[in-house]
Amino acid sequence: MSLNYVFFLLFTSVFFPLVNCSNKSATDSLDALLEDFTSKALVRHLPHTGVLYKTIPPANLTGIEVSILKIRSRGLWCKGANFSYFSIPSRTISLPHVRRLALVYQDMKNWSSHYYTVPGYSLITSVVGFMAFDASNSSADSFTKVNLTTMGKPISIHFRHLTLAESTKSETRCVTFAANGSSYLSEMSSFGECQSREQGHFSVVIPEGNSVQRKQNVWHWWLTGFILGFIVLVLLGFAGIFFMRILRTKKIQIMERQADEDLVLTSRWVGQSKMPSAGVTRTQPVLENGCFT
């Protein structure tokens, strides 16, 4: 074990403490199912070297993507390996050493949050992982799981479709799920890229109720309140205009009715027709010069 690897373990244990995973029994069962399925898939169809073969999982694992890449140990040592989300560096060897390896890639997709949880954080990508098997004997009845050592170099996990607001990037963390049911957090080496020194399962998380989300929620409520308030003011304005018109119309009707009641009309015969006629006014007309003619 290199000094760089020892330093990495000490650094992560001090600055990124372990977080308990609440679904350990479920993940143990899932890992057992995946290992059994992978071993049987390798027995039935071991792909050609360097070709990524996508398998069809059984009904109880529907929705989980499983792919297999067969590679020579010599090629892994000289060039490393790049497949799906993972980039394994050169100078990587298996423990124990074998001639050929089968790297099994897993993408939990919509099952991620069901099997993997981090208290206080939310998964924003699916959980991906890989395992290495001894594929030296293609006619074997079963394949043995082996470990990988990278000689201190990190394995890169690329989450290429990760999109986040600039203000949220500082709060995102990489999470590694260990085989014992624990998980530990680490900083991203670059945006959308996490690193590890060994095989396992990985994802990207963000704190639940982070400050950006709170600001977005406050802004959302302010915008909603402003829109609703504007709509209420417009409706009140229309209602006020409507009632003003009703009151004005009613007032005019009252005035017209009073005028009709105050006007007393008499009837007068004109020829053979009876027609209304106003009564004689009490005040006699007077000429301006005061003379009568």
- Cα–Cα distance between 181 and 146 in angstroms, integer? 19
Give 75-120 pLDDT, tens digit per residue: 999 999 988 889 999 999 999 999 989 888 899 998 898 888 888 8
- Cα–Cα distance between 97 and 75 in angstroms, integer? 13
User: What pTM does this model have?
Assistant: 0.61
Residues 6+ apart with CB under 8 A from 248: none
The yes or no reply on domain 3-208 and CATH 3.40.50 is no
> What's the rounded mean pLDDT across residues 30-46?
76
Quick one: pLDDT at residue 248? 86
Structural tokens at position 79:
């060039």
Residue 243 is which amino acid?
F
| Domain boundary assignment for the chain | 3-208, 210-256
Q: Tell me how many degrees the CA angle 84-88-91 measures, rounded to the nearest 5.
A: 155
266 neighbors 275 (Cβ within 8 angstroms): no
**pLDDT of 211 above 60:** no
Confidence band of 8 (pLDDT split at 50, 70, 90): very low
